[in-house]
Amino acid sequence: MAMNDPVRLQKFLSQCGIASRRKAEEMIKAGRVQVDGAIVTDMGSKIIPGQNLVKCDGRPLSPQNRAVYILLNKPKGYVTTLSDPQGRPIVTSLLTEISERVFPVGRLDLDTEGALILTNDGEFAQKVQHPSHEVTKTYEALVAGHPTKDQLAQLEKGILIEGKVTSPAKLTVLKKIKHATLIQITIHEGRKRQVRKMFEAVAHPVLHLKRIAYGCLRLHRLPIGKFRVLDSGDLEKIFLEFSLQTKK
């Protein structure tokens, strides 16, 4: 991006590590962004980096110099936002030694733990979340009781939730204990609390939920509350996954 080339406001926000471009559009619509002292809500607005002063929530912005990609094993009780009016802990507070301002790619519920990607690369975040790439999310769900084969098949085929049938999923029973079952489930949709709602629909509510993989990125032995910076090999695998899914 040349300093004198006009760029759309939402793209500039994503390049500054504020949020993905889609989330940046929501921030613009909400009147949180100013250009040269004036609130701008028009999605078609363009600015010239280095000439126009852009602020978000009163904070001056400038593009990030270094792109950072992080895999975090999120603990329960942390919110996947950059601030919380209720004072709950936020995931970025766990990123010690990371000086860049990063944001979560997608979300993970307050009471769910596991794999979460964070970055300051808005273009990357947009690709990861775009439906055309169908990036999978794999969970281990401890559910109440013992779902029948028919119920599991129903979940795999697709089940009606809030007026819309879920896309096909892959389920594997890992372990049965006295009053619960541990099930691995892989989905590629990102509907709010989807896994929990799927099991609630067949009367086997989730007792504990952990996301063990985001696409090809697996937690493996990464401890809860810890993170690792993704390297070039990780990114190559991610973009290869994008390519393969797009060709389907």
| Per-residue pLDDT tens digits for 23-72 | 888 899 999 999 999 999 998 899 988 788 999 988 888 776 678 899 99
Q: Do 144 and 204 fall within a single domain?
A: yes
Count the alpha carbons within 13 Å of 13 in the hemisphere toward its beta carbon.
29
For residue 1, the model assigns a pLDDT of: 42
Please state the separation of Cα 142 from the chain's center in Å. 22
* Burial of 106 (C-beta count, 10 Å sphere; 0-12/13-18/19+): middle
Q: What token pair was written down for 128?
A: 């990861």
Q: Do 143 and 206 fall within a single domain?
A: yes
Q: Which residues pair with 79 in a beta bridge?
A: 90
Predicted TM-score (pTM) of the model is 0.75
Q: Which residues are catalytic, by number?
A: 109
| Per-residue pLDDT tens digits for 205-226 | 999 999 999 888 999 999 999 9
Q: Which residues pair with 160 in a beta bridge?
A: 165
Q: How many domains does the chain have?
A: 3
What is the pLDDT confidence band of residue 99, given thresholds at 50, 70 and 90? confident
**CB 198, CB 141: distance < 8 Å:** no
Q: Do 208 and 238 fall within a single domain?
A: no
Q: Which of 59, 125, 50, 63 is nearest to 100 (CA)?
A: 63
Q: Do 106 and 222 fall within a single domain?
A: yes
Q: Is residue 1 in some structural domain?
A: no
Q: Is residue 2 in some structural domain?
A: no
Residue 242's domain spans which residues? 69-131+218-247
For residue 2, the model assigns a pLDDT of: 44
Please say whether the dihedral angle defined by the alpha carbons of residues 46, 48, 49 and 50, taken in this order, is positive or negative. Answer: negative
Q: Do 127 and 222 fall within a single domain?
A: yes
